[in-house]
Structure 1
């Protein structure tokens, strides 16, 4: 079978770096995480980077920071407030909202991009909005300039500017207006899970837009304790409690080993996606997603919208090709029944979207086989 996902690992370098950590006797809170953060900051172009034990931890911390920000203070009283988010994503995007004691207000999906519908987002910003979560789904960037304009208008209307958290879990290497994600004035989360183009085995990072948020995040990822304080003699104070979200040095060592490899992998994903863009154009019963000239996607997977999705998936499975719908639309889960709303854009695509392999492991023969199988019909 041609897999939808695969694990990319710089084998010998990763082994050597992990062995170095094991020999050092410092498995966490050592120098490797600091080194990894420095290299990530250089690669992103923003030094305000903190490495974490997972992307979900990054979202949890980012949403917490946004909900506690000065722009959110004093506007809600005892009300929990709400976070605007998309239901077309992995559950790990939205459950941290609930974990922070906030309500989810669902925003519709743009059928052309599968990202959040920015028109619907603007309509739903209100005095109850604590934060906004946008997902660069499959690694295709949201129109961040248009989002900034929406926030400008919201500030004029309501007197506050909701903070944005960008879920970049699938978007390592993606750019918007020639800048890597993480440079557009928002909190950004990246995931380094096992199946990502840059993997630490498990891990993530948060990229912060200013020094104040960076210092808050850096402290609160480890219980709010200043690691330079005199903890041996109790000479420290926790002014704001935090979490245990710190990345360990083994994960950081794996990430350092894979960092250069990841850039090559993203380019191979893009090359394969360009092949599909050409070969699958105009196939009856299949619709491709948007390609805007001002952004470069990472193409973690390749999305298509098809008629009769079950037949499409069976046809590809019979040809030895793995496909998936990746996750259930999040608003369909019973734990969020009370937050249900009408989402016509999502309704129009939710039973048509499917994802096909586009990764670095495909040979030219593999991708040709996938394209020819699809073009033969289902």
Structure 2
């Protein structure tokens, strides 16, 4: 079977991991510091914090956003406007922070947040807006900023923006890497991502104070540079055990050296599909916009009779999957159900993802496209 996901481990990871084992430093240490600096250099941002996984990055971003403006530092019961079309980690982090979810509709063309619906739903209760760059396709960040400008003018308060960049390493918006537009940006370095640590993540913060706070909160609220030998330190606010260990940082450092080549292959394969699948009966491609360059961690298409489509591809040795289900119909959030999500309703049962990754050869792409063109 041609898989939908595979794990990339650069050949340089072995020696770096072995060195970490030799030194016996397995918590946060010199490799973690080196990885963080390399990430800053790559994204062109001054403030980022590596963490043990992407969910921790989302959780920490919401903790910082909860203290934004009039919100309370413990969540304060604030409302977060978010998309129901995402992996559950995005939205369960909101609940874990004691905040309230309010659903925003999906743009059927891009599968990202519908900015018109967002503009209608921002109120003085809104503490944050959580957007997801689904499959690596960047959200319209300029339109988002405009919506927030209007909200600030109307309500005297600007909600924090959290970008869920879990699938968007290598994505570019208007010539600038996703994650470098001045918002709270949560990345995942899960094993199957473009840039993998095995498990890991990072949080990009917009200013020095939020960065310092993130550094403390990832280690129980303790400043790691404080004098803990003599017990002369204070914890101004409680925190978590969220730091990235040395083994994960070593794998991340090695994979960073080759991640651009992997993203290039994803894009090449996606470009082939854009041409080969255009106009195929029963298939609708997602939208492409100038200045919004996806990393194509996934390649979504909208199809008629999704179950039959998946069975047909499986019979040809090809994995295809919906990947996620709409979050708003889970029992855990039944109290916030919103029946007025027409964009989501129009696409949810039609979206399916086909293999697009660095392991998919040109022959594989041709086989996948021909199988789809033959019908199901």
Taking structure 2 as the reference length, what is the TM-score of the superposition?
0.98
Per the alignment, in what secondary structure is the counterpart of residue 316 of structure 1?
helix
**Structure 1 stretches lacking a partner, 5+ long:** none
Which of these residues, 229, 242, 246, is aligned with residue 239 of structure 2?
A: 242
Going from structure 1 to structure 2, the CA distance change for 1:140 and 1:334 (only over 3 Å counts) comes to: same
Q: Residues 195 and 255 of structure 2 are in contact (CA less than 8 Å); yes or no, is this contact kept in structure 1?
A: yes
SS of 1:84's partner is: strand
1:43-66 C-alpha deviation (Å, 9 max, x unpaired):
001021110000000000001100
Structure 1 partner of 2:85: 88
Which of 248, 263, 267 lines up with 2:264 in the alignment?
A: 267
Pairwise mapping of residues 1-378 of structure 1 onto structure 2 (< 5 A)? 1-11=1-11, 13-69=12-68, 71-73=69-71, 80-342=77-339, 343-378=341-376
The answer on whether the counterparts of 1:196 and 1:300 sit within 8 Å (CA) in structure 2 is yes
CA contact (8 A) 1:52 1:203 kept: yes
Structure 2 unmatched runs, 5+: none
Kindly tell me the number of residue pairs found equivalent between the two proteins. 375
Query: For the Cα contact (< 8 Å) 1:60–1:97, is it kept in 2?
Result: yes
SS at match of 1:258: helix
| 1:72/1:162 contact within 8 Å kept | no
CA distance in 2, matches of 1:55, 1:287: 31
- Looking at structure 2, the residues matched to 254 and 78 of structure 1 have their Cα atoms a distance apart, in angstroms, of 34
Offset at residue 72 of structure 1 (A): 3.1
Counterpart Cα distance in 1 of 2:95 and 2:75: 16
> C-alpha deviations, 1:72-101, integer Å up to 9, x for none?
347x99961211100100001110000000
| Alignment deviations for residues 12-52 of structure 1 (CA, whole Å, 9 cap, x no partner) | x1110000000111101211111000000000010211100
SS in 1 for 2:129: strand
Distance 1:304 1:182 in 2: 25
Q: CA RMSD in A?
A: 1.3
In 2, Cα distance between equivalents of 1:85 and 1:262: 29
Between the aligned partners of 2:120 and 2:332, the Cα distance in structure 1 is 25
Q: Contact 2:71 / 2:127 at 8 angstroms: preserved in 1?
A: no
Counterpart contact for 2:67–2:74, Cα < 8 Å: no
Q: Distance in 1 between matches of 2:67 and 2:216?
A: 15
SS at match of 2:258: helix
